[in-house]
């Protein structure tokens, strides 16, 4: 005999709405629960159960000639067991986000690391590098020695770059800006401005918001 356990007090569509409302508004559970006519503890269970199920699933294969863009973004996180003070002087987590340069869809979100971890190390340690594989990926100057396509730099004693390198850097910057536009859209979800979730919660929120970003972009 299969025991299904205690049924949810809200139908599935309302539970999904609750999770997305929590991510969008960053209301406390004490504020959010009465809007759905449930207890604070029930709202917490819904978020912890359904949040991971809404997460973006990383693809394992990519089309030939695909070009990716990667950059790290900091999410202020109150769980100090996974966060550290970063350059914004707040306890944060570093999230490596990879997007398709053509479609601007998020394809990979790396595992969150402490906010004081530089992007060069976070690229590999977050699992983003392994997820991307050999796909051509461009990044900013904070990823030297990673094999990614980064801007040209002046060598020691060199006062300026050759004109062709300056032109390449200009084009590189214009394309790379697309990932910043994605970050701006994702951070309209207020939970990414001050995340109160503990443990893997910030990772699930990033993955869920990335998936919702892709759904909105794809129409």
Mind listing the pLDDT tens digit for each residue in 75-127?
A: 999 999 999 998 777 999 999 999 999 999 999 999 999 999 999 999 999 99
Name the CA dihedral angle for 132, 135, 136, 138, rounded to a multiple of 10 degrees: -10
C-alpha neighbours within 13 Å on the C-beta side of residue 75: 33
pLDDT for 62 equals: 87
pLDDT for 214 equals: 96
Q: What's the full length of the chain, in residues?
A: 219
- Please state the φ and ψ torsions of residue 30, each to the nearest 5 degrees: -65, -30
Place of tokens 């971890």: 117
CA distance 160 to 154: 6
The lowest-confidence range among 48-57, 146-155, 176-185, 200-209 is 146-155
Answering whether pTM is above 0.95, one says no
Considering only residues 143 and 9, tell me which one the structure prediction assigns the higher pLDDT.
143
What mean pLDDT do residues 142-159 have? Answer: 88
pLDDT for 2 equals: 53
Q: Spell out a b/e string for 78-97, using b for 16 or more CB atoms within 10 Å of the CB, else e.
A: ebeebbbebeeebbbbbbbb
């Amino acid at each position: 005999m299969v025991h299904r356990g205690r049924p949810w007090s809200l139908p599935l569509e309302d539970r999904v709405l609750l999770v997305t409302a929590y991510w969008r508004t960053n209301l406390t559970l004490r504020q959010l629960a009465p809007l759905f006519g449930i207890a604070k503890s029930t709202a917490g269970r819904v978020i912890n159960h359904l949040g991971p199920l809404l997460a973006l699933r990383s693809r394992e294969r990519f089309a030939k000639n695909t070009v990716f863009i990667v950059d790290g973004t900091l999410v202020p996180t109150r769980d100090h067991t996974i966060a550290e003070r970063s350059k914004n002087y707040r306890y944060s987590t570093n999230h490596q986000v990879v997007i398709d340069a053509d479609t601007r869809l998020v394809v990979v979100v790396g595992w969150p690391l402490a906010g004081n971890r530089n992007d060069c190390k976070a690229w590999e340690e977050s699992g983003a590098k392994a997820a991307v594989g050999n796909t051509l990926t461009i990044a900013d100057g904070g990823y030297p020695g990673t094999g990614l396509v980064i801007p040209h730099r002046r060598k020691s004693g060199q006062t300026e770059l050759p004109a062709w390198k300056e032109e390449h850097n200009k084009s590189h910057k214009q394309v790379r800006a697309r990932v910043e536009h994605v970050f701006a859209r994702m951070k309209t979800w207020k939970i990414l401005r001050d995340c109160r979730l503990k443990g893997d919660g910030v990772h699930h929120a990033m993955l869920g918001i990335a998936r919702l970003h892709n759904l909105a972009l794809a129409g």
